[in-house]
Amino acid sequence: MAAERGNVPIPAAPNKAESFQIRKARLRTSFLSQLPGRLADARRAVAKLRASEIDHAHLDALYILFHTLKGSGATFGFRQISDAAESAEQAVRHAMDSGGRVEAALPAELARLLDDLAALALAAEVQVDPDVTPGFELPGPEPEPTSGHALGARPGQPADRSQRMVYLCDDDPDLAAQLAGQLGCFGYRVRAFTTLADLREAVDAERPSAMILDVVFPEDENAGPKMLAELRAGEEEAIPCIFISCRDDFGGRLQAVRAGGSAYCTKPIKTVELLEFLDRLTSPHPPEPINVLVVDDDRELAQFHATVLEEAGMVAKAVSDPEQVLSLLDTFDADLVLMDMYMPDCSGPELSRILRQMPGHVSLPIIYVSSETDVERQHKALAVGADGFLTKPIEPDRLIAEVGLRAERMRILHSLMVRDGLTGLFNHNAIMQFLEVAVANARRAGTSLCFAMLDVDHFKSVNDTYGHPTGDQVLMALSRTLRLRLRDDDLVGRYGGEEFAVVLNGVGVEQARRILDALRTSFSNVTFFSDGQEFRCTFSVGVAHFPTFDTPDAMTEAADRALYRAKKGGRNRVEIATEQDTLPEPEPEPAPTPESTGTSDGS
């Protein structure tokens, strides 16, 4: 759903029928049209500065003005204007840090910089950086199919972003409108404000799902954090808030943290980064509980520790026989193992060595719980690869805290290990491991699933024509399309390069075809922008079905062959693997052209 404009007086409300690029161009024009007025205000303030006098009022006003120009200029691609404004901002900042005393050279220096800014404004048409930052605009959400496979949402949960209201407040109306428009492209409802008073009034009238708040306002260089602290003082449940600012200094970040800010983005804003924060803060799904495996030959003690952890909201399994640990870890996705140090048939250090010799458990946190108080023995036990030592008896609160902190940290590290750095999707190894687990689960439950391989058509041409940053934007747009439109229990990964893999659990082949064809159509309507040009991309899909293909390797090979047929058949299509796809790959044609080489050349 397109963004809503709240109380922003100018520029005019965006026309939903216009592309994002057109709206952005209009905002740039608006910025330039206001620039002479802003510079005139600055000249009047500079003219009132008197050498050797202390003048906090005019210095504060000038600092805010140049600070705003710096951020807006960078955001709209006026790099030279931004740089000149930053020089002026630093000169004023130096005077402010010197007690507010105006040095003799300051007025002349600011006047010179204002002359530079005026010249840059006049020459803006030629000095404007081309829109070197590639972008894209996702189409609006499509109606859910009537087949019962809800795309992008679980029944009864407000997963639709159009139901999540976001308040955005920045004193720069152009920047506020631009950000609101960008977030609207991804389905968020955004109301933009340029004053904290309007924001306060809106919050009192309707509580938003989240806020995006500038740090610096004309009232104060920390007015944003102060407003958030004020809002939070009267509420039982805090509103998640992301701060945005040109300030990247420790002081600005500290004020944001103290006010309760959940995230901090510096200007110019990276939309994908901001979206990641928004998605996380407004997700309707609670965090997954921590899974803990408790190993102790004392059954009661093992169960007691498990019970304590379960009371704290964790999922705990207790086992008294170390020999059962490996089989349990195959089916129980433990975030941490809590084990006794001394057990009759296999000691804690011995069990730790076994786990550390298995690639899948090398990074699994292990904490000993033992009455051993000899420090030297504790150190020897830790040396085999354990992560901590708790001495029995241990207070329940401490047990919960120790386990929770280590498990949460491990989850973060694990997420970094299994996620693709560019798209945020699962990486190749992770998605293939998930496929193995999905096949095993489907075999046990007697259900079906589908595995799809997607490949962006002519991706090499995109990189060659528009550059790799634009190619990266294409991959990020496709990854977001997949994440937004598939169910939460479907699994999406970046298989490699421009190839993606999807595991559709509990889905038959025709349903998979329908789902993926809808995604294909949706993605083909995404408009990309680069260097003043617009273009679109498509992708091809190969789908393999379980139990038609009954192993992960067979499914992968069959999906890859089906993808090859989709490429050979003209691209931008979905092909279902058949029994023929289990046959050996045919010999290559005598003189293949770049257009016919399937997935290996980025076509």
- The whole-model pTM stands at 0.56
Handedness of CA 187, 188, 191, 196 (dihedral sign): negative
Strands of 189-193's sheet in order across: 189-193, 165-169, 210-214, 241-245, 263-266
The phi and psi torsions of 483 (rounded to 5 degrees) equal: -65, -40
Cα–Cα distances in Å, from 136 out to 272, 450, 524? 11, 29, 12
Residue 350, both tokens = 């011995």
* Residue 406 burial by Cβ neighbours in a 10 Å radius (0-12, 13-18, 19+): buried
The phi and psi torsions of 338 (rounded to 5 degrees) equal: -110, 115
- Give the model's pLDDT for residue 585: 56
* Residue 229 burial by Cβ neighbours in a 10 Å radius (0-12, 13-18, 19+): middle
DSSP string of 365-383? -EEEEE----HHHHHHHHT
CA dihedral (15, 20, 22, 28) in degrees, to 10, reads 100
Largest CA distance in the chain: 88
Cis check: omega of the bond before 590, within 30 degrees of 0: no
- Give the model's pLDDT for residue 19: 55
- Give the model's pLDDT for residue 2: 36
- Cα 222 to chain centroid distance, Å, stands at 26
DSSP 8-state class, residue 48: T
Q: How far apart are CA 433 and CA 545, in angstroms?
A: 17
Residues 6+ away with beta carbon under 8 Å from 387: 365, 366, 367, 406
Q: How far apart are CA 547 and CA 32, in angstroms?
A: 62
Find the length of the chain.
603
DSSP 8-state class, residue 579: G
C-beta separation of 577 from 596 below 8 A: no
DSSP 8-state class, residue 280: H
Residue 35, both tokens = 């620039």
Angle at which helix 20-47 crosses helix 106-122, to 10 degrees, equals 150
The phi and psi torsions of 148 (rounded to 5 degrees) equal: 100, -10
Residues of the chain with pLDDT under 70: 1-24, 26, 71, 74-75, 124-163, 185-187, 272, 284-286, 582-603
Look at residues 191, 232, 198 and name the one whose alpha carbon lies nearest to residue 212: 191
The phi and psi torsions of 74 (rounded to 5 degrees) equal: -65, -40
Q: How far apart are CA 567 and CA 182, in angstroms?
A: 33
- Give the model's pLDDT for residue 253: 92
At 185-212, the pLDDT tens digits run 666 788 999 999 999 999 999 989 899 9
Q: How far apart are CA 446 and CA 456, in angstroms?
A: 33
Tokens 């005139």 sit at which residue?
A: 40
Specify which residues 336 forms β-bridges with: 292
Q: How far apart are CA 316 and CA 18, in angstroms?
A: 53
Look at residues 362, 361, 380 and name the one whose alpha carbon lies nearest to residue 370: 380
- Give the model's pLDDT for residue 452: 97
Look at residues 30, 166, 42 and name the one whose alpha carbon lies nearest to residue 111: 42
Residue 482, both tokens = 């997949």
Residue 106, both tokens = 């300051």
C-alpha R_g of the chain: 29
The phi and psi torsions of 543 (rounded to 5 degrees) equal: -125, 135
Cα–Cα distances in Å, from 286 out to 62, 160, 297, 313, 427? 45, 16, 34, 12, 24
Q: How many CA atoms, within 13 angstroms, populate the side-chain half-sphere of residue 314?
A: 28
Q: At 430, is the secondary structure helix, strand, or coil?
A: helix
Cα–Cα distances in Å, from 541 out to 9, 349, 480, 514? 46, 48, 17, 12
Q: How far apart are CA 333 and CA 141, in angstroms?
A: 34
Cα–Cα distances in Å, from 23 out to 12, 177, 433, 490, 537? 10, 9, 44, 35, 22
